[in-house]
Chains A and B, each alone.
Chain A
Amino acid sequence: MRRPSAPASAPDRAASAEDVDQPTRWTRLVDRVLASAVWNHPAAQWVTGIAGLLLFALVVSVPLDLGEQFVFAATTFAIALLLSKTKGRVSTLAMMVLSVSASSRYIYWRLTDTVGFDNWLDGFFGFGLVMAELYAFAVLIIGYFQTCWPLGRKPVPMPADSSTWPSVDIFIPTYNEPLEVVKQTVFSAMSVDWPADRLKVFVLDDGRRAEFRAFCEELGVGYKIRGDNRHAKAGNINAALATTDGEYIAIFDCDHIPTRSFLQVCMGWFLRDPKLSMLQTPHVFFSPDPFEKNLDTFHRTPNEGELFYGIVQDGNDLWNASFFCGSCAVIKRAPLMEIGGIAIETVTEDAHTALKLNRHGYNTAYLEIPQAAGLATESLSGHVGQRIRWARGMAQIARIDNPLLGPGLKWGQRLCYLNAMLHFFYGLPRLIFLTAPLAYLLFGAHVFQATALMISAYALPHLAHASITNSRIQGRFRYSFWNEVYESVLAWYIMRPVLMAFINPKLGKFNVTAKGGVIEEAYFDWTIARPYLTLLLANMFGFGVGLWRGFFHPDAETTTLVINMIWTAYNIILASASLAVASETRQVRVTPRVAAVLPAAIRLEGGKVLSCQTDDFSQNGLGLALPEGVQVPSGSRIQVSLFRTDDEGIFPAVVTFSGKGHIGVRFDNLSLRQQADLAAMTFSRADAWIGTWGKRQQDRPLTSLRGVITIGMRGFGQLFGNVAKIVRPRPPAPAAK
């Protein structure tokens, strides 16, 4: 086994990269050994490096018979389990080394021992599966590399003398989003804490709408339009760059609401590191995405984006390869102009811009502190559309500006960017995994030229190590088996655009995700569910055939049959879970409510003022928890106070709902000034989104598996419920307002 080597830490880039975990005895021992000056000598590094590689090659390639392989695998896995009980990053690295070894050993064995196919049918399915496995293996290994030591960058305080602070322009690009959605972002952008003479807010309206112009003029906010819509958002920003002059540009999608502390938290690093060109913060959402909404997992299971913003970007940061994600980020104007503005060659202009900045020798950074929050896409079809765009854009970059090639990048950066692109190629491999056992069950193809027991002895350690290691790395940001659910839902849809774009980057066209809509009636999205339905039926059929074979034609291959049927059963769960996501639940509010307990007070009609707390807030109303025994009837006109340290905002409101101890109120004709005050008291609070970020329970794989199975069963049930309805006419399509 290789000695776990300490990754190159970057103390000059990290204000403080100390690990919060308590070191255990053995990690302290390792730390002491690593601290020895011997390791600074090149000879020592070469010797240990070569010795490690030789040992690694031995572990990967030494042939063992079945019994020996089982013993070896069991011992290694026991060590991994022991390691998983200890804390600290050294243990994590050691687990990664074990996982890489087990997977490499499996892949080596797979390629050398199991692909001597007898006929073209076996060869077709067999090589297909091998390719998918090689892809998964590559993503696993590069993923470990990417996330081996998340940098954990902390903010750098700004100098006390604010007269030295640079000028910043806040850009809010919009195209077709409703003013209601954009308003909130503008109000919050205006109340960002920064010297007033050095902060300008601009709405970049590619929709060229009169009401937007009027709104901006009334508030005294910059309003920019251009003559055409070429290159969509990238072109929109570039046009505004030409007519503005702030030293830095903060970019917010029109539905991402910044907190007042955004700039003060983000800008310090630019003053510390003159080569820093871009700093990204996480995208968090205060409304549920379609997975969370339709599976009812909002705030309980980490959503699809959390892994990326929780671990991957922070891991990229170690390698100086954090990339721009289009919103909630600050870019320095000079380097941006040097690379010709925001990249326009691909539909993921954000990642490509960061790649170009890195190529020009500039640094990029990631600060894992939620300083803005936004609306998630409300329907599955919208979500799918957005992911298709990301996937296609990444494939385009891989084609026209491949990070492995070209000048200016370090190897760490190349690998991080490569993985970001490779990640979106999961469509075909995932579909192969979802159908692979059918090759045997339906066609009798032998995709593995090995006995079922040998396969178990090699494949199980590979899967089990990867599973517990990833669970440890990602535990707070992605639960076990959820990756499969997310991928299964999207696989079919992103596969074609990715492959097309990879063949010809020009194919396809930009699409914008509609947000801030309502889904008036629950419905089942049959159109989008077609691939999941096909997969489900095929796997169920395969399972049936397997049962039939097991009972009526028992032969020597019982173990093989059982393994394939277990695999098929897992695939049935994934397909059913995907169906559950396609079952759209109602979303009645255009402006989602954010659950938050904030100090509040209500002034009743008689002049009494009662102290209370909010249950939730939105830009149109509040939920309030009243003190015991207080009743405020529906229809009452009251005034609601919200507090932020010493500040108080007071807003007229009408009680729209009155229940036991709780009331709902709707704000009553707020003036623009009051709306801005309201934003300051709610959405732009500095602490608004930090509370829940990364505070989830650590993953428990078995609990998580049970959760996924439950959702799969629910999807199964919903499917048959909806089949019953199918004879009736389809409900009206969702109205995206």
Chain B
Amino acid sequence: MNVISVVSSKGGVGKTTVTANLATAIARQGRTVLVLDLDPQNALGLHFGVAPNEMRGVSRATLAQQSCKSVVFESRGGVYVLPYGIVNEEDRSRFEHYLEAHPHWLGGLLQELSLPGDALVLVDTPPGPSVYMKQALRAANLALVVALADAASYAALPMMQRLVQTYCVGQPHFLDCLYVVNQTDSARQLSKDVTQIMRSSFGERLIGAIHLDQSVGEALANDLSVLDYESNSQAANDFRACAEKIVQRLQHSRHFA
């Protein structure tokens, strides 16, 4: 089992969309994929057809000391989904305290799910430092940083790198920190330049650039991944290429069964 934590220091960069579409693309390659939503917005499930009023999720289950196995949904695309769940403010606070008190909670939870050896878990997190991100980074084999091709996103990267340095580097199972640029638009010079700068600073660790493509938004409105909604779209192409790179990166490491 391999854990990929999808993180960013800035909000609104499209982490959840990237997580959902990457998960679908990897699952298409015949792997078992579980997505875990550690963002209280509880939006990831929407990408996989989980009902908007579905209360169950990892937060409730943990607080109720139930096994999370019972709240894993299987989506149409074959991706397993573990939503955050809907909780009131008090419970959310309790949950977060619980996570604070049990820094290796996530590792334990994933063990308990007893997933097959080649399974991939993608963990979606809220933007910026949080108890969720800490959990996700500690458990991660790969950290996947999502950024937009703009100045603000680029300026926020060092903070994310410090977090990765703090929580990931030194963990025996941690492999690497990868980057993906979202919503690139080569018609705009700034977008092109920022992508270029990131390419030259991260080299092979920048695994891809996802084009700004209306198909992505339309896909969500239709309850589909962009791979299902518009398989020929450039964004779908980009997600497939990123998925390919991630799988390759894992195959090169001995951690991958």
- Does A associate with B in a complex? yes
Contact at A646–B186, with CB atoms within 8 Å? no
Contact at A648–B186, with CB atoms within 8 Å? yes
Contact at A639–B187, with CB atoms within 8 Å? yes
Minimal Cβ-Cβ distance residue in A for B184: A648
Contact at A609–B186, with CB atoms within 8 Å? no
Per-residue 0/1 for B220-257: is the Cβ within 8 Å of any A Cβ (1 yes, 0 no)?
Answer: 00000000001111111100000000000000000000
How far does the alpha carbon of A608 sit from the alpha carbon of B235 in the complex, in Å?
Answer: 9
Q: From residue 401 to 457 of chain A, which have CB atoms closer than 8 A to chain B? A: none
Quick check: is A601 within 8 A (CB to CB) of the other chain?
yes
Which of A607, A611, A630, A639 has most chain B Cβ within 10 Å?
A: A611
Interface residues on B, range: 10 to 19
A654 surroundings in chain B (CB, below 8 A): none
Known contacts: A601-B211, A646-B199. The answer to whether A609 contacts B235 by CB under 8 A is yes
Contact at B213–A609, with CB atoms within 8 Å? yes
Quick check: is B70 within 8 A (CB to CB) of the other chain?
no
Quick check: is A650 within 8 A (CB to CB) of the other chain?
yes
Quick check: is B214 within 8 A (CB to CB) of the other chain?
yes
Q: From residue 631 to 650 of chain A, which have CB atoms closer than 8 A to chain B? A: 639, 641, 646, 648-650
User: How far does the Cβ of A326 sit from chain B's closest Cβ, in whole Å?
Assistant: 38
Contact at B214–A610, with CB atoms within 8 Å? no
A15 surroundings in chain B (CB, below 8 A): none
Quick check: is B156 within 8 A (CB to CB) of the other chain?
no
Quick check: is A464 within 8 A (CB to CB) of the other chain?
no
Contact at A608–B237, with CB atoms within 8 Å? no
How far does the alpha carbon of A648 sit from the alpha carbon of B234 in the complex, in Å?
Answer: 12
User: How far does the Cβ of B125 sit from chain A's closest Cβ, in whole Å?
Assistant: 28
> B213 contacts which of A607, A612, A630 (Cβ < 8 Å)?
A607
B197 surroundings in chain A (CB, below 8 A): none
Contact at A609–B214, with CB atoms within 8 Å? yes
Which of B212, B213, B231 has most chain A Cβ within 10 Å?
A: B213
A607 surroundings in chain B (CB, below 8 A): 212-214
Quick check: is B215 within 8 A (CB to CB) of the other chain?
yes
Q: From residue 607 to 626 of chain A, which have CB atoms closer than 8 A to chain B? A: 607-612
Contact at B237–A611, with CB atoms within 8 Å? yes
Q: Provide the main secondary structure of the chain A interface.
A: strand
> B212 contacts which of A609, A627, A646 (Cβ < 8 Å)?
A609
How far does the alpha carbon of A639 sit from the alpha carbon of B213 in the complex, in Å?
Answer: 12
How far does the alpha carbon of A607 sit from the alpha carbon of B212 in the complex, in Å?
Answer: 8
Quick check: is A691 within 8 A (CB to CB) of the other chain?
no
Quick check: is A42 within 8 A (CB to CB) of the other chain?
no
How far does the alpha carbon of A649 sit from the alpha carbon of B192 in the complex, in Å?
Answer: 10
B199 surroundings in chain A (CB, below 8 A): 646
Contact at A609–B233, with CB atoms within 8 Å? yes
Minimal Cβ-Cβ distance residue in B for A649: B186
User: How far does the Cβ of B9 sit from chain A's closest Cβ, in whole Å?
Assistant: 25
Contact at B187–A611, with CB atoms within 8 Å? no
Quick check: is A606 within 8 A (CB to CB) of the other chain?
yes
Contact at B232–A627, with CB atoms within 8 Å? yes
Interface residues on A, range: 10 to 19
How far does the alpha carbon of A639 sit from the alpha carbon of B188 in the complex, in Å?
Answer: 12
How far does the alpha carbon of A609 sit from the alpha carbon of B235 in the complex, in Å?
Answer: 7
How far does the alpha carbon of A630 sit from the alpha carbon of B232 in the complex, in Å?
Answer: 9
A641 surroundings in chain B (CB, below 8 A): 186, 234
> A650 contacts which of B186, B218, B231 (Cβ < 8 Å)?
B186
Contact at B214–A650, with CB atoms within 8 Å? no
How far does the alpha carbon of A463 sit from the alpha carbon of B236 in the complex, in Å?
Answer: 61
How far does the alpha carbon of A545 sit from the alpha carbon of B202 in the complex, in Å?
Answer: 83
How far does the alpha carbon of A324 sit from the alpha carbon of B226 in the complex, in Å?
Answer: 55
Contact at B215–A609, with CB atoms within 8 Å? yes
User: How far does the Cβ of B150 sit from chain A's closest Cβ, in whole Å?
Assistant: 17
How far does the alpha carbon of A115 sit from the alpha carbon of B212 in the complex, in Å?
Answer: 83
Q: From residue 185 to 203 of chain B, which have CB atoms closer than 8 A to chain A? A: 186-187, 192, 199
How far does the alpha carbon of A611 sit from the alpha carbon of B236 in the complex, in Å?
Answer: 9
Minimal Cβ-Cβ distance residue in B for A651: B187
Contact at A608–B186, with CB atoms within 8 Å? no
User: How far does the Cβ of B41 sit from chain A's closest Cβ, in whole Å?
Assistant: 25
Contact at A610–B232, with CB atoms within 8 Å? yes
A650 surroundings in chain B (CB, below 8 A): 186-187
Contact at A610–B233, with CB atoms within 8 Å? yes
Contact at B236–A608, with CB atoms within 8 Å? no
User: How far does the Cβ of B197 sit from chain A's closest Cβ, in whole Å?
Assistant: 12
> B234 contacts which of A601, A606, A628, A646 (Cβ < 8 Å)?
A601
Known contacts: A601-B234, A646-B199. The answer to whether A609 contacts B211 by CB under 8 A is yes
Minimal Cβ-Cβ distance residue in B for A602: B234
> B214 contacts which of A606, A630, A648 (Cβ < 8 Å)?
A606
Minimal Cβ-Cβ distance residue in B for A641: B186
How far does the alpha carbon of A608 sit from the alpha carbon of B192 in the complex, in Å?
Answer: 19
How far does the alpha carbon of A652 sit from the alpha carbon of B235 in the complex, in Å?
Answer: 19
Contact at A610–B234, with CB atoms within 8 Å? yes
Q: From residue 575 to 619 of chain A, which have CB atoms closer than 8 A to chain B? A: 601, 603, 606-612
Contact at B214–A608, with CB atoms within 8 Å? yes
B213 surroundings in chain A (CB, below 8 A): 603, 607-609
How far does the alpha carbon of A601 sit from the alpha carbon of B234 in the complex, in Å?
Answer: 7
B234 surroundings in chain A (CB, below 8 A): 601, 609-611, 641
Residues of chain B whose beta carbon lies under 8 Å from any beta carbon of chain A = 186-187, 192, 199, 211-215, 218, 230-237
Q: Which 9 A-B pairs have the closest CB atoms?
A: A627-B232, A607-B214, A609-B234, A609-B213, A611-B237, A648-B186, A601-B234, A650-B186, A608-B214
Mind listing 18 A-B residue pairs with CB under 8 Å? A601-B211, A601-B237, A603-B213, A607-B212, A608-B215, A608-B230, A608-B233, A609-B235, A610-B233, A610-B234, A611-B232, A611-B236, A627-B232, A628-B232, A630-B232, A641-B186, A650-B186, A650-B187
Beyond known contacts A608-B214, A611-B232, A611-B236: 14 more, CB 8 A cutoff: A601-B234, A607-B212, A609-B212, A609-B214, A609-B215, A609-B233, A610-B233, A611-B234, A611-B237, A612-B232, A641-B186, A646-B199, A650-B186, A650-B187
